[in-house]
Chain A
């Protein structure tokens, strides 16, 4: 095929999530045939991001400024802190535009089998942040995955946060919007029934 530069480009592109060798070849060809409009701007964007984007020293979000734009935003509710597993979850919550508090990225969940311990996550930083907030943060929302590891982490955090006397909540588990009960798995339905709440009162 082409020279070693093209092979290298394909090899690196194939390491991206969702791309295999075949789709990486297509992407490389697409870039090379649109050198001025796509390849060079992409190269500049990648260089800029690599040079400037870092993890926020407060919440762990990725941004070109530290503290990140969310931590600096004075219009956000300083009383609410949402704990999430990774930056992808933060982006997902931001897309909803329904949460106006601030975030804390844990960097994973506890997992005995994968050897992930509390000290491997930013739990120490979370505790320090809550203690230093001097009562400004009043509610911690635990928005972790509804998996065994995710909820094990939730229970661990609840134990740690108890001592601080804060309100601690977790996101609901259950029926998705547009979901039909007939098509839901029994686990989701059981969780939805267990998390039911009163209506019309």
Chain B
């Protein structure tokens, strides 16, 4: 049993003296684990966010299997000195690791993660992209939010709230009586003409996706993501 694919490292934990159990989000095979030998030689290639060409091999399909790294691009290397972008990379990998089921292909999530990590690396509009990435992740797993029209009036004008129960957008007028119980909907997520993502909008976006991630994730998995997302939110607040 063997295959070759492209993948992004989500996490690597030490196994014995020279090996690591590495979780990789692959393009065609989804989130997949495996053992990587000679971890000291591989060095930075096994850091979260690294873009690898991998070869997975096992005697039986349900075995853990072994990774052979055939090519690598270590994204983390250029981010180590930048606390905010490092926190974003860490949070994106944590969310994927905690949320995606093992060995289930999610090519759209893979593509979105590559775009997000490229933007983080290039330091271009990545914060808004991060919020969109989490929304896409929720959608791909079947928990998508309907931000296209108001749940009450069915119109698509002036959408500024989201119902924390249904995940549907609510217009300013219809939501006014319940404003304190609704989640804010940043303009850049509705595709409103001229809506630019200010930092306040990004933070509102993270509150929105965080609410639904917490709701749909197992408590233990959410606990693992909470720290990484919390660190990102704190860093963004200081910008």
Contacts and interface: CB of A to CB of B under 8 A. Distances in A.
A194 B81 contact: yes
A186 B86 contact: no
A112 B227 contact: yes
A112 B231 contact: yes
Contacts of B11: 113
B225 interface: yes
A194 B76 CA distance: 13
A17 B17 contact: yes
A21 B73 CA distance: 37
B26 interface: no
B196 interface: no
B210 to A, nearest CB: 14
Contact of B74 (A113, A151, A186, A194): A186
Contacts of A110: 227
B97 to A, nearest CB: 6
A64 interface: no
Category for how many chain B residues contact A: 20 to 34
A200 interface: no
Interface string A170-201: 00010000000000011110110010000000
Interface string B220-239: 00011111100100000000
Nearest to A116: B227
A147 B73 CA distance: 15
B227 A117 contact: yes
Contact of A187 (B74, B97, B226): B74
A112 B80 contact: no
Contact of A151 (B17, B50, B80, B97): B80
Contacts of A114: 13
Contact of B76 (A113, A155, A187): A187
A11 to B, nearest CB: 16
B90 interface: yes
Contacts of A156: 231
A185 B72 contact: yes
Interface in A118-172: 146-148, 151-152, 155-156, 158
B83 interface: yes
Contacts of B87: 152, 155
Interface string B57-82: 00000000000000011101110110
A196 to B, nearest CB: 13
Given A113-B228, A147-B76, A148-B48, 19 more contacts: A18-B17, A112-B94, A113-B93, A113-B97, A147-B47, A148-B90, A152-B86, A155-B86, A156-B231, A185-B45, A186-B73, A186-B74, A186-B77, A187-B43, A187-B45, A188-B43, A190-B78, A191-B77, A194-B81
